Structure 1
């Protein structure tokens, strides 16, 4: 066997969380794919393969961050408050190997076409990337002229985004929201995509009412309507728990630390009988973090990072005593299943070789994206083209 042609790498004796706890295992990778996981795989059977000795270190799937402002967000306090584009090194140092990009408040000076270019750029630079069409407002800005055509025809577009229950939304009525969700759904069917609709949730008293209105007036499945930022207000969070108990997915934002910090949100959801299979976690990375007073005046603004993803996992395990195999699910298996990414979010034969090695403190130590090392000893060893 010519191992150089197969580009074989053998990861030896890591404690594998796939995310289920498999104990110590060896992982054999060929190129970009995992080809075998077993308690013992002999290097002698694959002469010339590269061996990486893990000595019991924690090994899990690379994180999937499904809510990132890849070309920046913000602008709520004028052009100088537009946040910058995402740097590849920041994503991988946070353990992210797959990302979904989207637009935010500013769908005027930022465009889906630019987002598509950035999505393709990140793919070429080494990680996996997709995007949502649309922005906060309706009608949705699109590339082809319609949501269903974007989702059906553009490989990287997997759904649509808008904002509801927020003073920055376009105050869409139910029929406009239902039409948006139905177009995404049909485009997904035609393009073999998830066809999801992601709803930025503000802190309006209306909370999840717009989503229930959609479900009342059209036949889009509840599993295709995702409310995000649901931990930004306690009443909204409680409403989201009920939504999840009714069969919907809910997305908790790791960069929102009050009033409901993300680890507390997930731990509370589990205690209140919300299935782990309905909870996802995302960063809102590179989005703006504006603060408004009671009259809607901007009082401050910041930029969301990505380090909060691994920090949430640490807090779940160390503070809330959630088993690691469960703590990893909202960033791996659950989000992969929601997005229809069959080869992501798991460590198994046939899956992409997105392999994250955590140290004893559950910090990102090493990372491989599609079989290529991108982080060594906490530092990115790849950079974006212009970093």
Structure 2
């Protein structure tokens, strides 16, 4: 990944610009010191250090992925260090992701502590693309364990809460998935007070059980529909609660395996705002590689035909990148392009209160993509620096 300091003033010209809210034609993106300065008329004479021609391309905010277990041959559980985080971030930048949360699947306390230390190192070293950590477990429901090892699922103890709250703020954004079965509402209150974004997931809880956790400050739902109580005629479950509550932002794995496309369309129409449905990959180490499988907690995961499963067929993460998710919801589900791009950029940024990400407004970080009209990646930019170039400009115009 290119770590060179970008020129102080850059103009990106000739593209159709999606700023996170709407498309703009005939505009130039002006960048100063790694941040968006303005969108100006394209025919203005600008005093800049570098001009980048993006004629015929789409310019959009970089993708934000809040659930990334691995990439580039690295599974975060198996390599919880800053080198592993760097590889994961570099790999996903090749698919348009400019900000992500390395995600630790349920594991032992010592692995959690190594992950937190790795996050601290990545934050201190300003690893491009690193935003913070997502701790998915181990305080989940065994009944809705999914691929999480039931032997490692356990209640949140006072010692766990002390470790989590003491380290908050040291490793960037702090995000945790919990279930009411193995946590208390007052623990959620303490986590939120310490700065955590608390997400509900891997739970069989009822609407009545979930409400105190939402009142305590839980604002997200982890991979909607998967590993949770479903919407029923007499019990809303977490699915119904998530779609109904305006407070909850919901991650969605749009690979066609985790959730049926018709179900996704229903959910997208039904969701009550301002909490939105946003895309996550739940990607594993195979992204960007030709791996045929991997190990997690001593168990083999198999990669076949776009799916990752345990030996018994249980889905074990996803074999998809964020740009492919965007293409899926645009081409397969029929989401308008602006909405498809927003589900991978502005909506996840809003879900974790990152006002400088997921949009191209003055003062925002200059994290963006250049895409062809057919949604092939031309290049990925973080802080005004090109970190990945997928094709030369002349090929992009063809």
Q: Same fold (TM over 0.5)?
A: yes
Partners of 1:156 and 1:363 in 2: CA distance? 31
Pick the aligned partner of 1:139 from 153, 156, 162: 156
With over 3 angstroms needed to count, the CA separation of the structure-2 counterparts of 1:367 and 1:246, relative to structure 1, is: same
1:51 CA drift (Å): 1.0
Whether the 8 Å CA contact 1:13–1:56 is kept in 2: the answer is yes
Alignment of 1:353 onto 2:351: no
Q: Which of 235-244 and 331-340 deviates more?
A: 235-244
The correspondence of residues 205-284 of structure 1 with structure 2, limited to 5 A, is: 206=204, 208-209=205-206, 212-216=208-212, 219-221=215-217, 224-232=218-226, 236=230, 239=237, 240-254=239-253, 257-258=256-257, 260-261=259-260, 264-272=262-270, 274-275=272-273, 277-284=275-282
Pick the aligned partner of 2:386 from 364, 369, 373: 373
User: May I ask how many residue pairs the two structures share in their alignment?
Assistant: 338
Q: TM-score when scaled to structure 1? A: 0.74
Whether the 8 Å CA contact 1:32–1:353 is kept in 2: the answer is yes
Whether the 8 Å CA contact 1:270–1:276 is kept in 2: the answer is no
Structure 1 consecutive aligned stretches of length 4 or more whose deviation exceeds 6 Å: 140-144
The correspondence of residues 119-158 of structure 1 with structure 2, limited to 5 A, is: 120-121=121-122, 124-132=126-134, 135-137=137-139, 138-139=155-156, 145-151=162-168, 153-154=169-170, 156-158=172-174
Partners of 1:356 and 1:245 in 2: CA distance? 33
Q: Over residues 261-299 of structure 1, what are the superposed CA-to-partner deviations in whole Å (9 max), with x where a residue is unaligned?
A: 4x65543223335447421221112276969xxxxx952
Whether the 8 Å CA contact 2:368–2:382 is kept in 1: the answer is yes
Q: Over residues 9-40 of structure 1, what are the superposed CA-to-partner deviations in whole Å (9 max), with x where a residue is unaligned?
A: 11002111112223222101112101111232
Match of 2:284 in 1: 286
Match of 1:92 in 2: 93
SS in 1 for 2:185: helix
Pick the aligned partner of 1:332 from 341, 345, 354: 345
Q: Which runs of 5+ in 2 are unaligned?
A: 140-154, 286-295, 303-309, 393-398
Match of 2:323 in 1: 310
1:360 CA drift (Å): 2.0
SS in 2 for 1:161: strand
Whether the 8 Å CA contact 1:91–1:306 is kept in 2: the answer is no
Partners of 2:366 and 2:314 in 1: CA distance? 37
Whether the 8 Å CA contact 1:58–1:357 is kept in 2: the answer is yes
Q: TM-score when scaled to structure 2? A: 0.72
1:64 CA drift (Å): 0.6
With over 3 angstroms needed to count, the CA separation of the structure-2 counterparts of 1:160 and 1:377, relative to structure 1, is: closer
With over 3 angstroms needed to count, the CA separation of the structure-2 counterparts of 1:260 and 1:135, relative to structure 1, is: closer
With over 3 angstroms needed to count, the CA separation of the structure-2 counterparts of 1:154 and 1:140, relative to structure 1, is: farther
